[in-house]
Amino acid sequence: MQQYGKTILTAYPLLSGYVTQIENLIRKRARNSFYLRVDTVSFAEQLLRLGEIRKDLLELKITIEETLASIPEYDRILISYKYFGIMPKDENFDLKSRNYFRKQIKALERFSNALVQSGYDSEWFKNKYLKIAFISGIYQRTLLEEGKKHVRENFS
């Protein structure tokens, strides 16, 4: 369950950039459509698919922000540090203790549970976002990482 939570948190900092790239691509293709030698219907379908991907990425960004707002503040701080690279302003923030890693795991669990409670489960993620290449790539890396961790835990 946590794999898709990790995936969308890892993808979050990249979403704005991808949305901007898609918007620029749509504009560029629309401007240059006169010079293309392709079927108008298939060209329009391509632009519509790009628009749908853009909309889905914007919805994902809003979903992540709403879910982060629904979890405790300390969990948001932990997630922001780990996945977004935002250093906490709290001087007592301890990165070196063993408790830090346990707290990171709990924060991810709370985030994933908040997603599920809001109706965003793994089926929603798989049906809507695994068709997007960069999110699918992040998901595959997350699964590989989890598999390695599972092997380390069982054979050490």
Gap between the Cα atoms of 133 and 141, Å rounded? 12
What is the average per-residue pLDDT within 21-31?
A: 92
pTM (2 d.p.): 0.85
User: Hey, where are the domains in the chain?
Assistant: 2-155
Query: What is the pLDDT at residue 149?
Result: 62
What's the chain's length in residues? 156
Gap between the Cα atoms of 49 and 55, Å rounded? 10
Share of the chain above pLDDT 70, in %: 92
pLDDT at 156 over 50: no
pLDDT at 16 over 70: yes
**Residues 66-109: pLDDT tens digits?**
999 999 998 998 999 999 988 888 767 777 777 888 888 999 99
Gap between the Cα atoms of 5 and 146, Å rounded? 13
Structure tokens that stand for 90 in this block: 């709290």
Looking at residue 130, the DSSP 8-state letter turns out to be T
